[in-house]
Amino acid sequence: MFLERTGRLELRPPEAADAGAFAAMDADPEVMRYIGDGSVPPADPELMAARIARARRSWQERGYGLASVLLRESGEVVGWVQLAPPLFLPEVLPAVEIGWRFRRDAWGHGYATEAARVLLRVGFEEAGLDRLLSIRHVENARSARVMEKLGLRLRFETAVPAGGPPVAVHALTRAEWLSGPRV
Ligand SMILES: CC(C)(COP(=O)(O)OP(=O)(O)OC[C@H]1O[C@@H](n2cnc3c(N)ncnc32)[C@H](O)[C@@H]1OP(=O)(O)O)[C@@H](O)C(=O)NCCC(=O)NCCS
């Protein structure tokens, strides 16, 4: 299955043993501040195991999905990046979104950007996608900066249905990606 290394990181499909690292991120209010309604979801080990199993199936069935991000130096799981349909925003479907979530003590090192570059290549080169979206809460400035560094340009703002948060929709086409620096 999928395994990629960058200078500092290793990306691979999530394993059952990653559940603890994922749950710790999801229990941190700062990490969850701009996700959904910004609340911390109750810990649910069964749901987490199902998410991990679903992510593994996605790699097998679609050739993309959620990848755990590990520091090569220590082997620690510090976050994840993913390619997945943004089902929470029906107006943009069908589409595939690139997203990320990292442990707070791992922010600010460029890990999200370094890991997401791998998934841009997977999406455009291996899965043959023509366009990737990335969607953030309008106030999520860190995520906006990651999108900007990846070349994902702001296209429009909207809101998640049923009183959900205001969001900014960014996009990158394969043609734009091919003509960009791709460093
Ligand atoms: C968004 C997230 C993945 C970014 O991770 P990261 O590893 O810090 O990202 P990077 O280090 O690659 O880049 C962050 C950039 O934002 C900049 N930044 C940091 N704090 C910022 C702030 N308050 N306002 C604007 N930009 C900021 C950094 O300087 C850096 O840009 P630079 O390389 O030009 O200096 C991380 O903050 C996170 O997991 N947040 C919680 C989950 C989340 O919100 N996910 C995204 C949902 S859309």
Domain boundaries, the chain: 4-179
- The pLDDT value recorded for residue 176 is 97
- Distance from the alpha carbon of residue 66 to the mean position of ligand 1, in angstroms: 19
Residue 182 binned pLDDT confidence (cut-offs 50, 70, 90): low
110 CA to centre of ligand 1 in angstroms? 8
* Lookup: tokens for 149: 């560094």
Q: Best substitution site from 25, 69, 142 to test ligand 1's pocket, by max atoms within 8 Å of Cβ?
A: 142
* Chain segment 79-105, per-residue pLDDT in tens: 999 999 999 999 999 999 999 999 999
Total Cβ atoms within 10 A of residue 30: 10
Question: pLDDT by residue (tens digit) across 17-74?
Answer: 999 999 999 999 999 999 999 999 999 999 999 999 999 999 999 999 999 999 999 9
Residues 169, 140: contact at Cβ < 8 Å? no
Q: Which residues contact 2 (CB under 8 A, 6 or more apart)?
A: 11, 12, 13, 59, 67, 122
Check residue 33 and give its pLDDT: 98
Which of residues 182 and 102 earns the better pLDDT score?
A: 102
Distance 108 CA to ligand 1 centre (A): 6
CB 114 within 8 A of CB 78: no
Q: Of the residues 145, 148, 150, which should be mutated to test ligand 1's pocket, given the most ligand atoms within 8 Å of the CB?
A: 145
Atom 34 in ligand 1: which residue has the minimum CA distance?
145
pLDDT at 180 over 90: no
| 146 CA distance to ligand 1 middle (Å) | 6
Which fold does the domain 4-179 belong to in CATH? Aminopeptidase (3.40.630)
- Residue of 183, 180, 84 whose CA lies nearest to 135: 84
183 confidence band (pLDDT: 50, 70, 90): low
Residue range 132-177, pLDDT digits in tens = 999 999 999 999 999 999 999 999 999 999 999 999 999 999 999 9
